[in-house]
Amino acid sequence: MIAIVIASHGDLAEGLLQSATMIFGKQTNVATVIFKDRETSDDLMIKFKTALSKFDAADSVLFLVDLWGGSPFTVAGQIVSRQPEQMAMISGVNLPILMDAFTIRDQPLDKVVAHLERSGQKGIRHFEPETHNEGE
């Protein structure tokens, strides 16, 4: 099963995990990394390494980060670049993507990433109420 690290600026990662747990149930092999104000990339690297130490060394790891190009993305990218066959990263994490990742994390990492890219693109929708006149 793929291990998942959710990383964000501020408490978003913890909030996403809490919400997903309410809906989907408690998950194993999931960690959050929070980048706080006034922290450095070095602080963030320590947090990522601590999160990864909770997983089995043989686990594939999927990083779900909040923002392309942000500090969590940049530091996680350094880690993923060292082990691209065992690790992957997707930016733009949101609750539907996280829950979707939970449902398919028993698949190979490359298939999970491809699936999440597709589902993420379909996940943003515009609600358009039907227009009708009542009483006609």
Out of 9, 115, 126, 132, the active site residue is 9
Q: Where are the alpha helices (DSSP H) in the chain?
A: 12-24, 41-53, 71-82, 95-104, 109-122
9 in catalytic set? yes
Burial 28-66 (b: 16+ CB within 10 A, else e): eebbbbbbeeeeeeeebeebbeebbeebeeebbbbbbbb
The residues carrying an active-site annotation are 9
